[in-house]
Amino acid sequence: MPPDQLRLEQVLAEYAWAAFHIWDGTQRGIFPKGTFELTGGVALCGVLGTARGGAWWRSAKHTGCISEFVADVDAMLAKDTEVSVVHARVPPSVPAGEVVSDPPLG
């Protein structure tokens, strides 16, 4: 494995480990409800939303992760994907409900 890939996977594992502890603390009531979604979950989904981060997560989530944590992260990733698709298709300058056509190529 190339050194850069090894470093990336280590960083991703550290993000996931830190996010897990925030998720766990939120589940146990140590942190207020919604803390994971507003802090560690956002940071983790930011890196897992990249091509290489997503590839790592698709493999890593099946090894040593609690299924409830995986489900919550996957739900956040799905929600981020839905929001990204909507934002990618409708420029902020377009009023709600207005039909937008793709610009011509070239």
In this predicted model, what pLDDT tens digit does every residue of 66-75 receive, in sequence order?
A: 999 999 999 9
Give the pTM: 0.72
For residues 101 and 6, which has the higher predicted lDDT (pLDDT)?
A: 6
Neighbouring CB atoms inside 10 A of 45's CB total 23
> Which pLDDT tens digit goes with each residue over 39-81?
999 999 999 999 999 999 999 999 989 999 999 999 999 987 6
Closest CA to 72 of 57, 50, 52: 57
Rounded to whole angstroms, the Cα distance separating 27 from 23 reads 6
